[in-house]
Chain A
Amino acid sequence: MTMATSTKTMTAPHVEWGRVRPARRTADRMMKVIATSFTLIAIVVLFWILGMLIVKGLGGLSASTFTQVTPGPGTEGGGLANAIVGSIVLTFLGIAVATPIGVLAGTYLAEYGKASKLADLIRFINDILLSAPSILIGLFVYVILVEPFRGYSGWAGGVALGIIAIPVIVRTTEDMLRLVPGSLREAGAALGAPPSVVITSVTWRAAKSGMVTGILLALARIAGETAPLIFTALNNNFWFSPNLIGGVSNLPVTIYQFASAPYENWQQLAWAGSLIITVSILVLSIIARRIVRGGK
């Protein structure tokens, strides 16, 4: 009894409030304030960027933005029609390259390779490619597709974007296939279906929404990529040729070239382009997230 009282007086000589010493309370309060304000800073930056795009971009948006081609130096007016269409073509070319490879590779990891050494290595390398600098992928495609063929092309741009999209699709496909319960596969196999049929008509079907999400995320990832296109698809101020040989106009590189140019209509178009591209990407990402949450 006496001991209990003495320890009590030793550890907490004067208790002003509650059971927590003021120093501990202050440290705790400070941490909470700091963590909350750090979160606020990040959110403020996001809305600051969005606000900036809306304020500066809406002014530049008009019907001619979508109907006229990008203006040459010193030319009045103009729009972004060729850049928008070029961006859509390049992005879908990239997705068309990446989807079969990415889905099949993800299927191999989840269904065939599983825990094998090779599958582990591929997973590891894929994760590294996932965060590899996109400028290096641009340089790579320049070395293998632009230099040998002596010219920039939309094909090279599409391949560069595809290479950036592949690891995203591999990763999400594998993750989504893993969520499919094994009993479904066993049920399929028990009916006598070979593995390929089980995968294509049971596992893929069960994981469909998740796999589509992966492709949408990859789409969002490559739609705004600029660096790899500088070395591959380049850009120009005309309608690109339908065979995609030569420079193919696209939004990101147009923004890059127009943003700090001395012509006012170029700057206006750069802001309008930034608004278009950011809004499309954010909408894509939000849709992808909705599908994931709806699937769960």
Chain B
Amino acid sequence: MSAVTDQFAVPSAPVRKTPMGTFDLIFRNASFLAALFVLVLLAGIMLSMVVGGWPAFREFGFGFITSSVWDTQNEQYGAWPAIVGTLSTALIALVVGVPLSLGIAVFLTQLAPPWFKQPVSTAIELLAAVPSIIYGMWGLFVFAPLFAAYVQIPLSNIVEGMPIIGTVLYSRSPSGLGILTAGIILAFMIIPFIASITRDMLDQIPSVLRESAYGIGATTWEVVRHVLVPQAGVSIIGAIMLGLGRALGETMAVTFVVGNANRLSSSVMDPGSTIASRIANEFNEALGLQLNSLIALGCILFFVTFVVLVIARLLVARVKRY
């Protein structure tokens, strides 16, 4: 009996050749290689920044980061003003942008009537689709003149002579361009990202939690403050970090409105520069060590945004997966 089954089993034992075996193998390997390519890209970007910037790091050592000199005549380059400009514009963007984004997320999830939610959501997401250079045009030709006339000049008159505030908020040349203007424009650019992630996070909180809070008589504000925000807490911080990552590396809009001054100023109203704006401005005329120094600036920007984005991605719980 067993011999019979063996006889029948043996002919079918060799692996059945599918007609498309080769295609299957090629397809599998091609998709695997494409996926690996994503890793290669990041490694390549990192490597090219380090290699391209190496001459500058070797020439100036640690002083490249701390020095404020940017002298193309004598080939002396330091990154400090650009680093400070990058961090301060990004910080201003967060201070302005985060409350706005959270307000929008709360409005969209808790306050907006259903028929109103979709168009407003779309409008906020379209803010993200507007190209960076258009924000730059708006900032330079529309926002900056208004900002100079209605904020910088009156504010400078008020704060002049005051300790600390008189320095930080005083504008020597009220043109509307400067660190603060760049920060405000950046704020509008990061709002759609923070607001839409926060909205998704708030939407994912089980409505039982919300309803039980309302059930014991909580007001909308109390539900948001004591139930929704603690529930979504870590992901909101992740969304904010994601916005920070955007703000740090944003180039064109900042280049239009930051004023592109190579010196460090103690006032947020004065022109400055960021790493990205410095690179965009000088790259096409740069040669030799200046070019290496600009790539070295890019290297610093890469590692700062990399750390910020890694933290952001770890914090934003990817609930949609699995």
Contacts and interface: CB of A to CB of B under 8 A. Distances in A.
Contacts of A111: 31
Contacts of A134: 249, 251
A45 B124 CA distance: 10
A166 B45 CA distance: 14
Nearest to B119: A43
A135 B279 CA distance: 8
Nearest to A27: B221
A166 B309 contact: no
A34 interface: yes
Interface stretch (A59-67, A74-82, A251-259): A251-259
A41 B245 CA distance: 23
Interface residues of B, number: 92
A257 B306 CA distance: 30
A121 B20 CA distance: 31
B35 A227 contact: no
A131 B245 contact: yes
B313 A128 contact: yes
A278 B34 contact: no
A148 to B, nearest CB: 11
B129 interface: yes
Given A104-B34, A136-B49, A46 B123 contact: yes
A112 to B, nearest CB: 6
B41 A39 contact: no
A140 interface: yes
Nearest to B30: A104
A224 B133 contact: yes
Contact of A108 (B31, B104, B242): B31
Interface string B3-30: 0000000000000001011011011101
B99 interface: yes
Contact of B45 (A31, A137, A260, A281): A137
20 contacts: A28-B220, A38-B107, A39-B120, A46-B126, A46-B130, A49-B135, A104-B34, A107-B31, A109-B35, A119-B35, A129-B41, A135-B301, A139-B295, A166-B37, A194-B23, A196-B26, A197-B24, A224-B132, A230-B280, A274-B137
In the A-B complex, list the 8 residue pairs whose CB atoms are closest, starting with the nearest: A133-B249, A224-B131, A38-B103, A104-B34, A196-B27, A28-B219, A108-B35, A108-B31
Given A35-B106, A129-B41, A134-B249, 5 more contacts: A36-B111, A175-B320, A192-B18, A196-B23, A259-B137
